[in-house]
Amino acid sequence: MPDERQLLNAAASGDEKAFRVLIETHWKRVYFNTLALVKSPAAAQELTQDIFLKLWQQRDKLTTVESLPHYIYVLGRNQTISFLRKKIADTSPISPEAVIEDVLLPHLQLEAKDAYKLILEGIEQLSPQQKLIFRMSRIDGLSHEEIASRLQLSKNTVKVHMVIALNFMRTWIKDRLQ
């Protein structure tokens, strides 16, 4: 089996068999790297094909490539960024009217009221100090520094109380929704 340099030189001169060996060697890594970025198997498959197509179209540059894995990675990253930019540009913004219409739907209003009631019930289960800090943070919108200053506590104490309260609230809500 020829080494990678020989395969690169052969592929650069148009040898399809050598290029096929390069594809077979690097396909999985390129696919999984792309999949990690786009989170869609179909999109990752298409992008991987595009990456190798671009590599074939630019095959004359393969003789100067020092590290094929690095070269393919950069090529793949650029293709993926272009894909993601296009995807963002293609998404149409949500109109404020549509959001307002959705919020005004009776079943969504009922769900929101139920969720709010559940949260308030959970807050009442917290210790007095956690309840106060949680309300100041999540309802009044104060930062940890502001809460610490107002309650004459250290910022770290406020942070610890918030972590405990948030963990409790997650469990509280999860238990009630099952």
* CATH code where residue 50 lies: 1.10.1740.10
* Residue range 50-80, pLDDT digits in tens: 999 999 999 999 999 888 888 998 888 888 8
Q: What tokens were used for 60?
A: 């004359």
Report yes or no: 155 and 162 within 8 Å, Cβ to Cβ: no
Together in a domain, 80 and 126: no
Dump pLDDT digits (tens) for 129-143: 999 998 898 888 889
**pLDDT value of position 106:** 64
Domain final residue pick, 73, 90, 107: 90
Number of domains present in the structure of the chain: 2
* Residue that finishes a domain, picked among 39, 65, 90: 90
pLDDT tens-digit map of 69-121 = 889 988 888 888 888 888 877 766 666 665 555 555 665 566 667 777 888 88
- The answer on 64 and 24 residing in a single domain is yes
Based on the domain organization, do 78 and 108 belong to the same domain? no
What residues make up the domain containing 35? 4-90
Q: Give backbone dihedrals phi and psi of 63, rounded to 5 degrees, phi first.
A: -70, -20
Half-sphere exposure of 177 (CA within 13 A, CB side): 13
pTM of the entire structure? 0.50
71 and 117 assigned to the same domain: no
Contact between residue 137 and residue 95 where contact means Cβ atoms under 8 Å apart: no
- Give me the sign of the Cα torsion angle 126, 132, 134, 139: positive
Here the CATH number for the domain that contains residue 128 is 1.10.10.10
